[in-house]
Amino acid sequence: QTHEQFLHCLSHHSNDSSSISKLVYSRNNCSYSSILESSIQNLRFDTAATPKPLLIVTPFHASHIQATIYCSKSHGLQIRTRSGGHDYEGLSYVSEVPFVLIDLVNLRSIDIDVENGVAWVQSGATLGELYYRISEKTRTLAFPAGTCPTIGVGGHLSGGGYGLLFRKYGLAADNVIDAHVINADGRILDRKSMGEDLFWAIRGGSGGSFGIVLDWKLKLVPVPPTVTIFSVTKTIEQNATQLIHRWQYIAHKLPKDIILIVFISKVNETVETSFTGMFLGPVNKLIWLTGTRFPELGLTKQDCIETSWIQGLYTGQFPNNNLENLLNRTAANKSWFKIKSDYVKEPIPESVFEEIWPKYFNEEGGRYGSIYLIPYGGKMDEIPGTATPFSHRAGNMYKIIYTVGGQEDGFQSYLNWIRRFYDDMTPYVSKSPREAYVNYRDLDIGVNNRSGNTSYAEASIWGLKYFKNNFRRLVSVKTLVDPQNFFKHEQSIPSLSPS
Ligand code: FDA
Is the Cβ atom of 146 under 6 angstroms away from ligand 1? Answer: yes
Q: Is 370 left (phi over 0), alpha (psi -120 to 50) or beta?
A: beta
Nearest atom in ligand 1 to 440's CA: 41
**Are residues 221 and 141 in contact, defined by beta-carbon separation less than 8 angstroms?**
yes
The residue whose C-alpha atom lies closest to atom 10 belonging to ligand 1 is 92
ipTM value, please give it.
Answer: 1.00
Distance 152 CA to ligand 1 centre (A): 6
Q: Phi and psi of 103, rounded to 5°? A: -105, 120
The protein residue with its alpha carbon nearest to ligand 1, atom 35, reads: 86
C-beta of 273 in contact with ligand 1 (< 6 A): no
What pLDDT, on the 0 to 100 scale, is given for residue 1? 63
User: Considering just the CA atoms, what is the radius of gyration of the chain in Å?
Assistant: 23
Question: From the CA of 493, how far away is ligand 1's center (Å)?
Answer: 16
**Is the beta carbon of 378 within 6 A of some atom in ligand 1?**
no
Q: Residue 342: CB within 6 Å of ligand 1?
A: no
Across the beta sheet with 398-406, what order do the strands follow? 304-307, 227-235, 270-279, 258-267, 369-375, 398-406, 336-344
Spatial neighbors of 261 by CB under 8 A, at least 6 apart, are 275, 276, 277, 372, 373, 374, 375
How many A from CA of 451 to the centre of ligand 1? 26
**Per-residue pLDDT tens digits of the chain, which is 499 residues long:** 677 888 899 988 887 767 777 899 999 999 999 999 999 999 999 999 999 999 999 999 999 999 999 999 999 999 999 999 999 999 999 999 999 999 999 999 999 999 999 999 999 999 999 999 999 999 999 999 999 999 999 999 999 999 999 999 999 999 999 999 999 999 999 999 999 999 999 999 999 999 999 999 999 999 999 999 999 999 999 999 999 999 999 999 999 999 999 999 999 889 999 999 999 999 999 999 999 999 999 999 999 999 999 999 998 888 778 999 999 998 778 999 999 999 999 999 999 999 888 889 988 888 999 999 999 999 999 999 999 999 999 999 999 999 999 999 999 999 999 999 999 999 999 999 999 999 999 999 999 998 878 999 999 999 999 999 999 999 999 999 999 999 999 999 999 976 4
> Active-site residue numbers?
440
Q: Which atom of ligand 1 is nearest to the CA of 104?
A: 18
Q: Whose CA is nearest to atom 22 of ligand 1?
A: 207
The atom of ligand 1 lying closest to the CA of 41 is 36
Ligand 1 midpoint to CA 71 (Å) = 26
Q: Is any ligand 1 atom within 6 A of the Cβ of residue 125?
A: no
